[in-house]
Amino acid sequence: MGKKDKNQKKGKGAEKTAMKTDKKLAAKQKKLISKLGEDDIESIVAKYEINESKSAIVVESICPPPSARVNFSICSHPYKEELLLYGGELFNGQKTVVYGEFYCFNIEKNEWKELKASSSPAPRSGHQMVSVSTDGGQIWLFGGEYASPSQLQFYHYKDMWVFRIAEKQWEKINAPNGPTARSGHRMVASKKNIFVFGGFHDNNSSYRYFNDLYAFSLENYAWSKIETKGVPPPPRSGCCMIANPDGKITVWGGYSKSSIKKEVDRGITHADMFSLTVDKSDPTAYKWTSIKPGGKKPPPRSGMSAVMAANGKVYAFGGVMDTEEDEEDVRGTFSNELHILDPSSHTWRKVELTSKKKLTKQTSNTESTAASESKIDQKTVVHDDGIFTTSIGGPSNDMPVSQNDVEMLDLPGPSPRMNAGMVICKGNLYVYGGLYESGSRQYTLSDFYFLDIHKLDQWKTLIANSYTEWLGSDSEESSSDDDDDDGSNDSSEEDDDDSSEMDTD
Protein backbone atom coordinates (compact mmCIF):
# COMPACT_ATOMS: atom_id res chain seq x y z
CA MET A 1 0.00 0.00 0.00
CA GLY A 2 2.86 2.33 0.88
CA LYS A 3 4.56 1.65 -2.47
CA LYS A 4 1.34 2.44 -4.34
CA ASP A 5 0.95 5.75 -2.51
CA LYS A 6 4.55 6.60 -3.31
CA ASN A 7 3.97 5.98 -6.99
CA GLN A 8 0.85 8.11 -6.93
CA LYS A 9 2.82 10.99 -5.42
CA LYS A 10 5.44 10.62 -8.15
CA GLY A 11 2.73 10.84 -10.78
CA LYS A 12 1.24 13.94 -9.25
CA GLY A 13 4.71 15.49 -9.01
CA ALA A 14 5.32 14.87 -12.73
CA GLU A 15 1.92 16.33 -13.52
CA LYS A 16 2.69 19.46 -11.53
CA THR A 17 6.06 19.81 -13.30
CA ALA A 18 4.35 19.54 -16.68
CA MET A 19 1.79 22.15 -15.65
CA LYS A 20 4.56 24.51 -14.56
CA THR A 21 6.35 23.99 -17.88
CA ASP A 22 3.15 24.69 -19.82
CA LYS A 23 2.53 27.84 -17.79
CA LYS A 24 6.11 28.99 -18.36
CA LEU A 25 5.81 28.48 -22.13
CA ALA A 26 2.40 30.19 -22.14
CA ALA A 27 3.83 33.16 -20.23
CA LYS A 28 6.78 33.38 -22.64
CA GLN A 29 4.46 33.27 -25.63
CA LYS A 30 2.16 35.88 -24.09
CA LYS A 31 5.19 38.12 -23.56
CA LEU A 32 6.25 37.72 -27.20
CA ILE A 33 2.71 38.37 -28.48
CA SER A 34 2.55 41.52 -26.37
CA LYS A 35 5.94 42.60 -27.69
CA LEU A 36 4.66 42.22 -31.25
CA GLY A 37 1.55 44.27 -30.42
CA GLU A 38 -0.75 41.45 -31.53
CA ASP A 39 -4.27 41.10 -30.09
CA ASP A 40 -5.33 37.97 -28.27
CA ILE A 41 -6.63 35.35 -30.75
CA GLU A 42 -10.01 35.15 -28.99
CA SER A 43 -10.46 38.90 -29.41
CA ILE A 44 -9.51 38.76 -33.09
CA VAL A 45 -12.02 36.01 -33.88
CA ALA A 46 -14.75 37.66 -31.76
CA LYS A 47 -14.66 40.72 -34.02
CA TYR A 48 -15.74 38.58 -36.96
CA GLU A 49 -18.40 36.70 -35.02
CA ILE A 50 -20.14 39.95 -34.00
CA ASN A 51 -21.38 40.25 -37.59
CA GLU A 52 -23.38 37.03 -37.38
CA SER A 53 -26.46 38.95 -36.20
CA LYS A 54 -26.40 41.24 -39.22
CA SER A 55 -27.81 40.69 -42.71
CA ALA A 56 -26.60 37.59 -44.52
CA ILE A 57 -27.78 38.77 -47.96
CA VAL A 58 -24.93 38.63 -50.47
CA VAL A 59 -23.94 41.53 -52.73
CA GLU A 60 -22.06 40.58 -55.92
CA SER A 61 -19.38 42.66 -57.62
CA ILE A 62 -17.03 41.92 -60.51
CA CYS A 63 -13.45 41.75 -59.28
CA PRO A 64 -9.92 40.62 -60.20
CA PRO A 65 -9.02 36.94 -59.60
CA PRO A 66 -8.26 35.91 -56.00
CA SER A 67 -4.77 36.64 -54.71
CA ALA A 68 -2.31 33.80 -54.10
CA ARG A 69 -3.50 31.41 -51.39
CA VAL A 70 -3.42 27.87 -50.06
CA ASN A 71 -5.70 25.75 -47.83
CA PHE A 72 -8.87 27.27 -49.29
CA SER A 73 -11.95 25.37 -50.47
CA ILE A 74 -13.38 25.26 -53.98
CA CYS A 75 -16.42 23.46 -55.42
CA SER A 76 -18.61 23.59 -58.50
CA HIS A 77 -22.12 25.03 -58.74
CA PRO A 78 -24.56 22.09 -58.81
CA TYR A 79 -26.30 23.41 -61.96
CA LYS A 80 -24.33 26.20 -63.62
CA GLU A 81 -20.86 26.43 -65.14
CA GLU A 82 -19.54 28.26 -62.11
CA LEU A 83 -16.91 27.59 -59.46
CA LEU A 84 -17.13 28.86 -55.88
CA LEU A 85 -14.04 29.53 -53.75
CA TYR A 86 -13.83 30.50 -50.09
CA GLY A 87 -11.03 31.48 -47.66
CA GLY A 88 -7.41 30.36 -47.57
CA GLU A 89 -4.17 31.75 -46.22
CA LEU A 90 -0.81 33.14 -47.25
CA PHE A 91 2.53 33.34 -45.42
CA ASN A 92 5.36 35.32 -47.03
CA GLY A 93 8.08 34.66 -44.46
CA GLN A 94 7.16 37.64 -42.31
CA LYS A 95 3.41 37.70 -41.88
CA THR A 96 0.36 35.45 -42.24
CA VAL A 97 -2.93 36.63 -43.67
CA VAL A 98 -6.07 34.47 -43.44
CA TYR A 99 -8.75 35.28 -46.01
CA GLY A 100 -12.53 35.41 -45.69
CA GLU A 101 -13.51 36.31 -49.25
CA PHE A 102 -16.10 34.29 -51.13
CA TYR A 103 -15.62 34.18 -54.91
CA CYS A 104 -17.62 32.93 -57.88
CA PHE A 105 -15.93 32.20 -61.22
CA ASN A 106 -18.17 32.16 -64.29
CA ILE A 107 -16.47 29.77 -66.71
CA GLU A 108 -18.27 30.90 -69.88
CA LYS A 109 -17.59 34.59 -69.25
CA ASN A 110 -14.12 34.00 -67.71
CA GLU A 111 -15.28 36.41 -65.01
CA TRP A 112 -14.67 36.58 -61.25
CA LYS A 113 -17.17 38.01 -58.77
CA GLU A 114 -16.77 38.58 -55.05
CA LEU A 115 -19.86 37.72 -52.99
CA LYS A 116 -19.98 39.92 -49.88
CA ALA A 117 -22.28 39.69 -46.88
CA SER A 118 -22.02 41.30 -43.44
CA SER A 119 -22.92 37.93 -41.90
CA SER A 120 -20.82 35.08 -43.26
CA PRO A 121 -18.19 32.58 -42.06
CA ALA A 122 -15.18 34.18 -40.39
CA PRO A 123 -11.85 34.14 -42.30
CA ARG A 124 -10.27 30.69 -42.16
CA SER A 125 -8.07 28.10 -43.82
CA GLY A 126 -7.94 24.31 -43.68
CA HIS A 127 -11.76 24.14 -43.75
CA GLN A 128 -13.93 22.03 -46.05
CA MET A 129 -16.75 22.90 -48.42
CA VAL A 130 -19.16 20.76 -50.49
CA SER A 131 -22.05 21.57 -52.84
CA VAL A 132 -25.40 19.78 -53.06
CA SER A 133 -28.37 20.24 -55.38
CA THR A 134 -30.97 20.56 -52.60
CA ASP A 135 -33.43 23.49 -52.84
CA GLY A 136 -31.83 25.18 -55.82
CA GLY A 137 -28.30 24.44 -54.66
CA GLN A 138 -26.46 24.73 -51.36
CA ILE A 139 -22.83 25.16 -50.33
CA TRP A 140 -21.94 23.65 -46.95
CA LEU A 141 -18.83 24.72 -45.01
CA PHE A 142 -17.37 23.28 -41.80
CA GLY A 143 -14.39 23.93 -39.49
CA GLY A 144 -10.97 25.30 -40.30
CA GLU A 145 -8.54 27.52 -38.43
CA TYR A 146 -7.48 31.12 -38.03
CA ALA A 147 -3.77 31.87 -37.56
CA SER A 148 -2.61 35.19 -36.14
CA PRO A 149 -0.20 37.28 -38.27
CA SER A 150 2.78 36.04 -36.22
CA GLN A 151 1.62 32.39 -36.37
CA LEU A 152 2.02 32.30 -32.58
CA GLN A 153 -1.72 31.89 -32.04
CA PHE A 154 -4.27 29.54 -33.60
CA TYR A 155 -8.03 29.30 -33.32
CA HIS A 156 -9.83 26.21 -34.62
CA TYR A 157 -13.48 26.36 -35.69
CA LYS A 158 -16.29 23.83 -35.28
CA ASP A 159 -19.08 25.83 -36.89
CA MET A 160 -21.27 24.72 -39.80
CA TRP A 161 -22.54 27.17 -42.41
CA VAL A 162 -24.78 26.85 -45.45
CA PHE A 163 -24.90 29.21 -48.44
CA ARG A 164 -28.30 28.97 -50.13
CA ILE A 165 -27.55 29.71 -53.77
CA ALA A 166 -31.11 30.57 -54.84
CA GLU A 167 -31.56 33.07 -51.98
CA LYS A 168 -27.90 34.23 -52.15
CA GLN A 169 -27.73 34.04 -48.37
CA TRP A 170 -25.44 32.57 -45.69
CA GLU A 171 -26.89 30.86 -42.61
CA LYS A 172 -25.06 29.54 -39.57
CA ILE A 173 -26.46 26.16 -38.49
CA ASN A 174 -26.49 25.70 -34.71
CA ALA A 175 -26.60 21.91 -34.32
CA PRO A 176 -25.15 20.22 -31.20
CA ASN A 177 -23.04 17.05 -30.92
CA GLY A 178 -20.90 17.76 -33.96
CA PRO A 179 -17.15 17.25 -34.43
CA THR A 180 -14.74 19.07 -32.14
CA ALA A 181 -12.89 22.12 -33.46
CA ARG A 182 -10.37 21.13 -36.14
CA SER A 183 -8.76 21.83 -39.49
CA GLY A 184 -7.20 19.63 -42.15
CA HIS A 185 -10.22 17.30 -42.00
CA ARG A 186 -12.09 15.98 -45.04
CA MET A 187 -15.78 16.25 -45.89
CA VAL A 188 -18.04 14.67 -48.55
CA ALA A 189 -21.76 14.60 -49.30
CA SER A 190 -23.38 11.19 -49.78
CA LYS A 191 -26.95 9.84 -49.53
CA LYS A 192 -28.51 12.95 -47.90
CA ASN A 193 -25.67 13.16 -45.37
CA ILE A 194 -22.45 15.11 -45.03
CA PHE A 195 -19.60 13.02 -43.62
CA VAL A 196 -16.62 14.56 -41.78
CA PHE A 197 -13.46 12.55 -41.11
CA GLY A 198 -10.10 13.21 -39.45
CA GLY A 199 -8.21 16.48 -39.13
CA PHE A 200 -6.09 17.94 -36.34
CA HIS A 201 -6.08 20.50 -33.55
CA ASP A 202 -2.98 22.43 -32.49
CA ASN A 203 -2.83 25.08 -29.75
CA ASN A 204 0.98 25.53 -29.80
CA SER A 205 1.43 23.63 -26.53
CA SER A 206 -0.06 20.34 -27.74
CA TYR A 207 -1.56 18.81 -30.85
CA ARG A 208 -3.90 15.97 -31.69
CA TYR A 209 -4.83 14.14 -34.90
CA PHE A 210 -8.29 12.63 -35.35
CA ASN A 211 -9.80 9.57 -37.04
CA ASP A 212 -13.36 10.01 -35.79
CA LEU A 213 -16.30 10.05 -38.21
CA TYR A 214 -19.42 12.23 -38.05
CA ALA A 215 -22.52 12.50 -40.21
CA PHE A 216 -24.68 15.60 -40.63
CA SER A 217 -28.20 14.93 -41.91
CA LEU A 218 -29.33 17.20 -44.72
CA GLU A 219 -32.92 16.32 -43.83
CA ASN A 220 -33.14 17.17 -40.12
CA TYR A 221 -29.91 19.23 -39.72
CA ALA A 222 -28.59 17.04 -36.91
CA TRP A 223 -25.10 15.70 -36.18
CA SER A 224 -24.39 12.12 -35.17
CA LYS A 225 -21.09 10.47 -34.32
CA ILE A 226 -20.67 7.26 -36.30
CA GLU A 227 -19.41 4.33 -34.23
CA THR A 228 -17.93 2.12 -36.93
CA LYS A 229 -17.07 -1.55 -37.12
CA GLY A 230 -13.76 -2.88 -38.41
CA VAL A 231 -10.34 -1.25 -38.00
CA PRO A 232 -10.54 2.47 -38.88
CA PRO A 233 -7.78 4.46 -40.62
CA PRO A 234 -5.18 5.73 -38.14
CA PRO A 235 -5.57 9.43 -37.18
CA ARG A 236 -4.55 11.85 -39.94
CA SER A 237 -5.21 15.11 -41.72
CA GLY A 238 -4.66 16.22 -45.31
CA CYS A 239 -5.91 12.90 -46.69
CA CYS A 240 -8.13 12.25 -49.72
CA MET A 241 -11.78 11.35 -49.18
CA ILE A 242 -14.18 10.47 -52.00
CA ALA A 243 -17.88 9.59 -51.97
CA ASN A 244 -18.64 6.95 -54.61
CA PRO A 245 -22.00 6.89 -56.46
CA ASP A 246 -22.87 3.57 -54.79
CA GLY A 247 -22.64 5.14 -51.32
CA LYS A 248 -19.19 3.84 -50.42
CA ILE A 249 -16.59 6.30 -49.14
CA THR A 250 -12.88 5.89 -49.89
CA VAL A 251 -10.07 7.41 -47.80
CA TRP A 252 -6.34 7.29 -48.54
CA GLY A 253 -3.09 9.08 -47.83
CA GLY A 254 -2.65 12.03 -45.47
CA TYR A 255 -0.29 13.09 -42.72
CA SER A 256 0.15 12.82 -38.97
CA LYS A 257 2.95 13.29 -36.48
CA SER A 258 3.90 12.04 -33.06
CA SER A 259 6.53 12.82 -30.45
CA ILE A 260 9.61 10.57 -30.52
CA LYS A 261 11.52 12.40 -27.79
CA LYS A 262 11.52 15.75 -26.02
CA GLU A 263 10.90 18.59 -28.50
CA VAL A 264 11.31 16.23 -31.48
CA ASP A 265 8.34 15.07 -33.56
CA ARG A 266 8.25 12.58 -36.38
CA GLY A 267 5.84 13.00 -39.25
CA ILE A 268 4.22 10.13 -41.12
CA THR A 269 3.00 10.45 -44.70
CA HIS A 270 0.36 7.75 -45.11
CA ALA A 271 -0.10 5.54 -48.17
CA ASP A 272 -2.88 3.25 -46.94
CA MET A 273 -6.43 3.09 -48.32
CA PHE A 274 -9.73 2.33 -46.60
CA SER A 275 -13.33 1.87 -47.68
CA LEU A 276 -16.34 2.83 -45.57
CA THR A 277 -19.47 0.82 -46.35
CA VAL A 278 -22.82 0.01 -44.78
CA ASP A 279 -22.39 -3.19 -42.75
CA LYS A 280 -24.22 -6.07 -44.49
CA SER A 281 -25.18 -7.63 -41.16
CA ASP A 282 -26.56 -4.35 -39.81
CA PRO A 283 -27.92 -1.78 -42.33
CA THR A 284 -27.80 0.95 -39.67
CA ALA A 285 -24.05 0.53 -39.05
CA TYR A 286 -20.92 1.43 -41.02
CA LYS A 287 -17.78 -0.64 -41.41
CA TRP A 288 -14.16 0.27 -42.30
CA THR A 289 -12.25 -2.13 -44.56
CA SER A 290 -8.56 -1.91 -45.45
CA ILE A 291 -7.98 -1.87 -49.22
CA LYS A 292 -4.90 -2.91 -51.20
CA PRO A 293 -5.19 -0.95 -54.47
CA GLY A 294 -3.75 -2.23 -57.73
CA GLY A 295 -2.18 -0.61 -60.77
CA LYS A 296 0.47 2.12 -60.71
CA LYS A 297 -0.39 3.72 -57.39
CA PRO A 298 1.10 7.07 -56.36
CA PRO A 299 3.75 7.21 -53.59
CA PRO A 300 2.70 8.19 -50.04
CA ARG A 301 1.41 11.77 -50.12
CA SER A 302 -0.44 14.38 -48.13
CA GLY A 303 -2.04 17.55 -49.40
CA MET A 304 -3.03 15.68 -52.57
CA SER A 305 -6.14 17.06 -54.29
CA ALA A 306 -8.79 14.54 -55.37
CA VAL A 307 -12.20 14.83 -57.01
CA MET A 308 -14.83 12.44 -58.38
CA ALA A 309 -15.92 12.91 -62.01
CA ALA A 310 -19.28 12.09 -63.61
CA ASN A 311 -17.60 9.17 -65.39
CA GLY A 312 -17.15 7.45 -62.02
CA LYS A 313 -13.38 7.94 -61.97
CA VAL A 314 -11.37 9.80 -59.31
CA TYR A 315 -8.72 12.31 -60.42
CA ALA A 316 -5.89 13.00 -57.94
CA PHE A 317 -3.23 15.67 -58.38
CA GLY A 318 -0.06 16.90 -56.67
CA GLY A 319 0.76 16.53 -52.99
CA VAL A 320 3.92 16.26 -50.94
CA MET A 321 5.90 13.45 -49.34
CA ASP A 322 8.21 14.29 -46.43
CA THR A 323 11.70 12.86 -46.77
CA GLU A 324 13.51 12.68 -43.44
CA GLU A 325 17.22 13.48 -43.64
CA ASP A 326 17.65 13.07 -39.89
CA GLU A 327 15.47 13.31 -36.78
CA GLU A 328 15.17 17.08 -36.92
CA ASP A 329 15.61 17.88 -40.62
CA VAL A 330 12.71 17.07 -42.94
CA ARG A 331 12.30 18.09 -46.57
CA GLY A 332 9.28 17.68 -48.80
CA THR A 333 9.18 16.19 -52.29
CA PHE A 334 6.41 17.92 -54.23
CA SER A 335 4.47 16.44 -57.14
CA ASN A 336 2.50 17.63 -60.16
CA GLU A 337 1.53 14.16 -61.30
CA LEU A 338 -2.05 13.38 -62.24
CA HIS A 339 -3.42 9.96 -61.30
CA ILE A 340 -6.76 8.29 -61.94
CA LEU A 341 -8.38 5.85 -59.51
CA ASP A 342 -11.14 3.46 -60.51
CA PRO A 343 -13.03 3.21 -57.18
CA SER A 344 -14.96 0.10 -58.25
CA SER A 345 -11.78 -1.97 -58.66
CA HIS A 346 -9.46 0.27 -56.57
CA THR A 347 -7.02 0.38 -59.49
CA TRP A 348 -4.65 3.29 -60.13
CA ARG A 349 -3.11 4.55 -63.34
CA LYS A 350 -0.77 7.46 -63.91
CA VAL A 351 -1.86 9.94 -66.58
CA GLU A 352 0.53 10.83 -69.40
CA LEU A 353 -0.97 13.66 -71.43
CA THR A 354 -1.03 13.00 -75.18
CA SER A 355 0.60 16.35 -76.02
CA LYS A 356 3.40 15.59 -73.58
CA LYS A 357 4.14 12.27 -75.21
CA LYS A 358 4.86 14.01 -78.53
CA LEU A 359 7.71 16.07 -77.07
CA THR A 360 11.16 14.55 -76.88
CA LYS A 361 13.10 14.87 -73.66
CA GLN A 362 15.73 16.99 -75.40
CA THR A 363 13.18 19.49 -76.71
CA SER A 364 11.48 19.72 -73.33
CA ASN A 365 14.75 20.38 -71.51
CA THR A 366 15.81 23.02 -74.05
CA GLU A 367 12.53 24.91 -73.73
CA SER A 368 12.60 24.69 -69.94
CA THR A 369 16.15 26.08 -69.73
CA ALA A 370 15.37 28.93 -72.14
CA ALA A 371 12.22 29.84 -70.23
CA SER A 372 14.06 29.75 -66.91
CA GLU A 373 16.83 32.07 -68.11
CA SER A 374 14.23 34.48 -69.46
CA LYS A 375 12.24 34.46 -66.20
CA ILE A 376 15.29 35.11 -64.04
CA ASP A 377 15.95 38.40 -65.87
CA GLN A 378 12.47 39.85 -65.42
CA LYS A 379 9.74 40.45 -62.87
CA THR A 380 6.12 41.37 -63.57
CA VAL A 381 3.95 42.46 -60.65
CA VAL A 382 0.38 41.26 -61.14
CA HIS A 383 -1.15 41.78 -57.70
CA ASP A 384 -0.33 44.11 -54.84
CA ASP A 385 -2.89 44.42 -52.02
CA GLY A 386 -0.65 46.46 -49.73
CA ILE A 387 0.35 43.36 -47.78
CA PHE A 388 1.68 40.87 -50.31
CA THR A 389 3.04 41.24 -53.82
CA THR A 390 2.48 38.50 -56.37
CA SER A 391 4.91 38.11 -59.30
CA ILE A 392 4.66 36.14 -62.51
CA GLY A 393 7.66 33.90 -62.99
CA GLY A 394 10.05 36.41 -61.51
CA PRO A 395 12.11 36.68 -58.34
CA SER A 396 12.56 39.74 -56.17
CA ASN A 397 15.92 41.48 -56.25
CA ASP A 398 16.16 41.35 -52.45
CA MET A 399 15.68 37.58 -52.24
CA PRO A 400 16.79 35.96 -55.51
CA VAL A 401 14.93 32.83 -56.51
CA SER A 402 17.17 29.94 -57.48
CA GLN A 403 17.11 28.75 -61.08
CA ASN A 404 15.88 25.36 -59.89
CA ASP A 405 12.90 27.00 -58.15
CA VAL A 406 12.05 29.02 -61.25
CA GLU A 407 12.18 25.87 -63.38
CA MET A 408 9.90 24.00 -60.98
CA LEU A 409 7.41 26.89 -60.86
CA ASP A 410 7.44 27.48 -64.62
CA LEU A 411 6.63 24.05 -66.02
CA PRO A 412 3.89 23.76 -68.68
CA GLY A 413 0.64 23.30 -66.79
CA PRO A 414 0.43 23.22 -63.00
CA SER A 415 3.84 23.04 -61.34
CA PRO A 416 4.49 20.75 -58.33
CA ARG A 417 2.39 21.82 -55.34
CA MET A 418 0.35 20.73 -52.36
CA ASN A 419 -3.16 21.68 -51.22
CA ALA A 420 -4.19 23.04 -54.61
CA GLY A 421 -7.86 23.70 -55.16
CA MET A 422 -9.23 21.16 -57.64
CA VAL A 423 -12.74 20.72 -59.03
CA ILE A 424 -14.48 19.22 -62.07
CA CYS A 425 -17.19 21.07 -63.99
CA LYS A 426 -18.75 19.98 -67.31
CA GLY A 427 -15.96 17.55 -68.17
CA ASN A 428 -13.09 19.90 -67.37
CA LEU A 429 -10.69 19.51 -64.45
CA TYR A 430 -9.68 22.84 -62.85
CA VAL A 431 -6.62 23.43 -60.65
CA TYR A 432 -6.06 26.69 -58.75
CA GLY A 433 -3.32 27.89 -56.39
CA GLY A 434 -1.56 25.87 -53.71
CA LEU A 435 1.89 25.87 -52.14
CA TYR A 436 5.42 24.89 -53.16
CA GLU A 437 8.30 24.77 -50.67
CA SER A 438 12.03 24.88 -51.30
CA GLY A 439 14.10 24.68 -48.14
CA SER A 440 12.70 27.30 -45.79
CA ARG A 441 11.00 29.23 -48.61
CA GLN A 442 7.28 28.93 -49.28
CA TYR A 443 5.86 29.97 -52.64
CA THR A 444 2.10 30.47 -52.47
CA LEU A 445 0.55 30.26 -55.93
CA SER A 446 -2.35 31.95 -57.74
CA ASP A 447 -2.21 30.32 -61.18
CA PHE A 448 -5.24 28.64 -62.75
CA TYR A 449 -5.52 25.79 -65.29
CA PHE A 450 -8.02 23.37 -66.78
CA LEU A 451 -7.79 20.02 -68.53
CA ASP A 452 -10.38 18.23 -70.68
CA ILE A 453 -10.69 14.86 -68.94
CA HIS A 454 -12.16 13.27 -72.07
CA LYS A 455 -9.14 14.14 -74.23
CA LEU A 456 -6.36 14.30 -71.61
CA ASP A 457 -4.26 16.16 -74.17
CA GLN A 458 -2.82 19.24 -72.49
CA TRP A 459 -3.38 21.74 -69.69
CA LYS A 460 -4.87 25.08 -70.75
CA THR A 461 -3.86 28.22 -68.87
CA LEU A 462 -6.47 30.60 -67.48
CA ILE A 463 -4.08 32.53 -65.21
CA ALA A 464 -0.34 32.26 -65.85
CA ASN A 465 2.17 30.86 -63.36
CA SER A 466 2.46 33.28 -60.46
CA TYR A 467 3.64 33.21 -56.86
CA THR A 468 4.29 35.53 -53.94
CA GLU A 469 7.70 36.92 -53.16
CA TRP A 470 9.42 35.30 -50.18
CA LEU A 471 10.38 37.95 -47.64
CA GLY A 472 11.68 35.64 -44.93
CA SER A 473 15.18 34.46 -44.26
CA ASP A 474 16.66 31.38 -45.92
CA SER A 475 17.95 30.34 -42.50
CA GLU A 476 15.91 27.88 -40.44
CA GLU A 477 16.99 29.70 -37.27
CA SER A 478 14.82 32.31 -35.64
CA SER A 479 16.00 35.91 -35.52
CA SER A 480 14.32 36.45 -32.15
CA ASP A 481 16.36 37.05 -29.01
CA ASP A 482 17.25 34.23 -26.62
CA ASP A 483 14.27 34.89 -24.34
CA ASP A 484 11.90 34.29 -27.24
CA ASP A 485 13.63 31.36 -28.98
CA ASP A 486 11.60 28.54 -27.42
CA GLY A 487 8.18 30.02 -28.12
CA SER A 488 8.83 31.30 -31.64
CA ASN A 489 10.78 28.28 -32.84
CA ASP A 490 8.27 25.80 -31.49
CA SER A 491 5.45 27.69 -33.15
CA SER A 492 7.08 27.96 -36.56
CA GLU A 493 8.19 24.33 -36.60
CA GLU A 494 4.73 23.05 -35.71
CA ASP A 495 3.09 25.32 -38.22
CA ASP A 496 5.45 24.20 -40.97
CA ASP A 497 4.50 20.60 -40.29
CA ASP A 498 0.84 21.43 -40.23
CA SER A 499 1.00 23.39 -43.47
CA SER A 500 2.15 20.21 -45.19
CA GLU A 501 -0.96 18.42 -44.09
CA MET A 502 -3.91 20.64 -45.07
CA ASP A 503 -6.03 20.64 -48.21
CA THR A 504 -7.33 23.64 -46.23
CA ASP A 505 -9.38 21.63 -50.38
What's residue 87's pLDDT? 98
Element (H, E) at 361: helix 361-376
Residue 51, phi then psi, degrees to nearest 5: -75, -5
Answer yes or no: are the C-beta atoms of 500 and 44 closer than 8 Å.
no
pLDDT tens digits for range 326-376: 555 667 889 999 999 999 999 999 999 987 665 544 444 444 444 433 333
H-type alpha helices, 85-134? none
Half-sphere exposure (Cβ direction) of 313: Cα atoms closer than 13 Å: 16
- At residue 2, does pLDDT exceed 60? no
- At residue 199, does pLDDT exceed 50? yes
Helix, strand, coil % over all residues of the chain, rounded to 5: 20, 40, 40
Instruction: Tell me how long the chain is.
Output: 505
Mean pLDDT of all residues in 78-92: 96
Element (H, E) at 97: strand 96-98
Exposure string over 468-481, b if 16+ CB within 10 A, otherwise e? bbbebeeeeebeee
DSSP 443-485: EEEEEEEEEETTT----EEEE---EEPP-S-SSSS--S-GGGH
DSSP 146-209: EE-TTSS-EEE---EEEEETTTTEEEEE--SS-PPS-BS-EEEEETTEEEEE--EEE-SS-EEE
pLDDT tens digits for range 135-184: 999 999 999 999 999 888 899 999 999 999 999 999 999 999 999 999 99
Exposure string over 347-382, b if 16+ CB within 10 A, otherwise e? ebeebebeeeeeeeeeeeeeebeebbeebbeebeeb
- Model confidence at 403, in pLDDT bands (50, 70, 90)? low
Element (H, E) at 274: strand 273-278
State the chain's mean pLDDT as an integer. Answer: 81
Query: For residues 122 and 99, what is the distance between their CA atoms, to the nearest angstrom?
Result: 9
CB atoms within 10 A of CB 244: 18
Q: Which CATH superfamily is domain 56-360+390-499 in?
A: Kelch-type beta propeller (2.120.10.80)
β-strand 428-438 against 441-452: which pairing, if any? antiparallel
Single pTM value for the model: 0.81
What's residue 243's pLDDT? 96
Query: Which of the pair, 77 or 390, is modelled with greater confidence?
Result: 77
Burial grade of 132 (CB within 10 A; 0-12, 13-18, 19 or more): middle
pLDDT tens digits for range 410-430: 677 999 999 999 999 999 999
Query: For residues 473 and 459, what is the distance between their CA atoms, to the nearest angstrom?
Result: 34
Query: For residues 399 and 469, what is the distance between their CA atoms, to the nearest angstrom?
Result: 8
